[in-house]
Structure 1
């Protein structure tokens, strides 16, 4: 016989997840539009409804809410980087898949706006930049490093320092075009241009790391 408490718990989880998602959406809009300093917890509450208690119980405070927003934006790229236990033996294929996801995030208008917010406010709030690096780029780099470490142990690539190699790889993807987009002197690359850039970067990277 079904337990009515199970149904209540599932409904409660759905409601909790929905509220968390609504808070993140509202916070993202305000942070990216108004900047970190000009966005308050009260402003988020006014937009989404509820109370401060809801935000503090889900996120812990404004800085934690900002970190959660960055992590949420990063999740798309992280999902595309296969955990080492599921990665196939086709290194080029896996790197292209991961690189396309990372490039998509780099050229996402929300990510561009986020970079601008962090650059504008990090001089007054150095901790903001650290939160951004740890919750966004740092997580992507570490996931890619784990994948490279797996291939290195399998003898498919020759990488002495997977973390450093991952940093170089993402740096090649980012290159000067990303800076130009952040500065507003060019538009984000379209999907076709991103795909071509990704394949060139992967092929150049593999020349240096493929096991011989």
Structure 2
């Protein structure tokens, strides 16, 4: 069992720093080498810790990969805040949410992460579960909460808000994601805005028609 330290323990700060070092080293190794080819011994060495210390923080390679993915998805602020579009009405907020989603999904780190999972998930099925939970699930929760916030005022009838979030993600990525994933030109801000606006218009039409 992984050991934890109380916040007032003198060792807590040191252990937190070591954990952060391990996650940083693992992030670099996983993104460069993929999951299957990544060695926990190399990660420990790159982090400047012993393999025993690594296993005091993470019992398995899966746990370490989960920590890396959680870090890649976590808000950059010390105190997480609502997205800038969260208080905006759907005719504005959906487009802004779409732009934010695309900038994130098309970032170099997220594309590298997707390639790792796509390449190694057949051999390590748990990777797919982790990716869906940590990457797709987190964003879906935020967007589902947004739909809940506006469904009564907008008079929407939504059978499954999580499916609606997934549909929006599919509309946003259509064409663009595969283009960039396969080495095509990365879209500029204007193309991202246009794609987000088009996806938002289609989603809004489906929501108003009660098709989700």
Match of 2:140 in 1: 141
Q: CA deviation at 1:120?
A: 1.4
Alignment of 1:36-75 (within 5 A): 36-75=35-74
Greater shift in the superposed pair: 112-121 or 189-198: 189-198
Change (3 A) 1:188 1:54: farther
Query: Residue by residue, what CA displacement relative to the aligned partner does 1:48-89 show, whole Å, maximum 9, x if unpaired?
Result: 111234433433321011112112212249x67649xx9425
Residue segments in structure 2 that go unaligned for 5+ positions in a row:
1-6
Q: Which runs of 4+ in 1 moved over 6 A?
A: none
> How far apart, in 1, do the equivalents of 2:32 and 2:148 lie?
39
Flag the 1:101–1:15 CA change in 2: closer, same or farther, 3 A: farther
Change (3 A) 1:25 1:167: same
Asked if 2 retains the 8 angstrom alpha-carbon contact of 1:68 and 1:135, the reply is no
Name the TM-score, length of structure 2 as normaliser: 0.80
User: Displacement of 1:90 after TM fit?
Assistant: 1.7
Q: TM-score, length-normalised on structure 1?
A: 0.80
Superposed CA RMSD in Å reads 3.0
Judging changes above 3 Å, is the alpha-carbon distance between structure 1 residues 93 and 162 closer, same or farther for their aligned structure 2 residues?
Answer: same
Matches for 1:1-212 after TM superposition, within 5 Å: 9=8, 14-76=13-75, 82=83, 87-88=86-87, 90-155=89-154, 157-184=156-183, 186-210=184-208
* Distance change (3 Å), C-alpha of 1:10 and 1:158: farther
Residue aligned with 2:74, SS: helix
Change (3 A) 1:157 1:89: farther
Alpha-carbon contact 1:148-1:162 (below 8 Å) kept:
yes
Give the secondary structure class of the aligned counterpart of 1:136: helix
CA contact (8 A) 2:172 2:196 kept: yes
* CA 98–17 in structure 1, closer or farther in 2 if over 3 Å, else same: farther
Partner Cα distance (2:156, 2:15) in 1: 44
| Contact 1:80–1:98 (Cα < 8 Å) also in 2 | no
- Structure 1: give runs of 5+ residues left out of the alignment: 1-7
Write the deviation string for residues 108-127 of structure 1: whole angstroms up to 9, x where unpaired.
11111111111111222222
The offset of 1:32, in angstroms, is 1.1
Q: Is the 8 A contact 1:23 1:44 kept in 2?
A: yes
More helix per residue: 1
